[in-house]
Chain A
């Protein structure tokens, strides 16, 4: 992986030297950790990296850098996010330099054994769940591409956790979700980590009308998560940042997956697959399947 680090640093340096960008958004490493970094002009680029722990979705930083010229390290998660943001006219493409990287499939640190040696050879049982379903490991519309192109993956079928939950009865599901939601402290980390939750004012802060109680409780929390999933209906690109950042470990992305799967089956719509597709909820077909209407 040494070469891709060097190439990435060289690419960032060139973009700054040519005065094409104000900020470079990528991953940095320190003390054995990899984390997202926003580097301004003149910053030390020697910590830039890209390895198998670069799982964050960097497109999350774009809204706060709006107006600046940004170089963004893009793997497939960012690519799909950019497609959705472009369809919603939320990015200025002429101010964005897409730095494509070949994604080696990211590792889930929670699945790692104590001995962390040999990150490169881990099989898919150590992968992030999102990487098992990934359709493409390269960046199709990169302005700059670093590293060697990766081979096309074979995406895994199905939604393991969602299917596990759905195998139970309605009463058991309600009990299970209540249990999960009783853990939720509504820190809104899921909202913050989501690259597609960019509203300036969120319904949870509304006072007039007040849609939700400010207090925490299973019912309140469940309604918050249902509406969060509705607001991401046909937009969620399954990067699973929401579940990853949850401090109490609620798999909140299962609710998003319900809609992703249903929209794919019902409307043939996969969010972020192409830059041209209109979001699913602002288009319609006259004969959309309606199976529950009286």
Chain B
């Protein structure tokens, strides 16, 4: 996405910037994000990265808690299926995340709030693109809250 277009999208949405919590697996996605940095690939600075040992470390509780604590979106990223450092961790993670996704979709949560991607250690560019996409979508979706007047 061209820089001007990006600015335009941000302007129409006002000065607000989304907060994204990213759960990244240590072996692939975190290294991929690192590569994006060392290769000087520019991308949106909205994602706050939490490094986890494996994508299967990500409990659905963590994702919901992030949303409760003020995140506008959550991005979970791990090794491509078949590339897991622990051989099969991401296969288990995938089933669990599918279950969470089904429930969040069912209760009517905006699907843009919770994204999953596979990013390998050599895919710095892909990581930048994923973050750009997620940020752009969340800019369109706006701040996350269940209700205008807050909750609880």
Contacts and interface: CB of A to CB of B under 8 A. Distances in A.
Interface string A265-294: 011000000000000111011101010111
A188 interface: no
Contacts of B65: 209, 211
B130 interface: yes
B107 A174 contact: yes
A148 interface: no
B146 A286 contact: no
A230 B60 contact: yes
A281 B111 contact: no
Nearest to A175: B108
Interface stretch (A5-13, A51-59, A102-110, A218-226): A218-226
Q: On chain A, which size bracket covers the interface?
A: 35 or more
A174 B100 contact: no
Contacts of B92: 281-282, 284
Interface in A211-238: 211, 213, 215, 217-220, 222-223, 226-227, 229-230, 233-234
Most buried by B among A172, A267, A282, A290: A290
Majority secondary structure, A binding face = helix
A282 B111 CA distance: 26
B96 interface: yes
Interface in A169-223: 169-178, 203, 209, 211, 213, 215, 217-220, 222-223
A259 B99 contact: yes
Nearest to A224: B64
A177 B146 CA distance: 11
Contacts of B88: 284
Given A218-B151, A220-B152, A227-B60, A266 B109 contact: no
Interface of B: 60-61, 64-65, 68, 81-82, 88, 91-92, 94-96, 98-111, 115-118, 130, 133-134, 146-147, 151-152
22 contacts: A166-B106, A176-B108, A203-B61, A211-B65, A218-B146, A222-B107, A223-B64, A223-B68, A226-B60, A230-B99, A234-B99, A258-B103, A262-B99, A280-B95, A281-B92, A284-B88, A284-B95, A286-B91, A290-B98, A292-B98, A293-B94, A294-B115
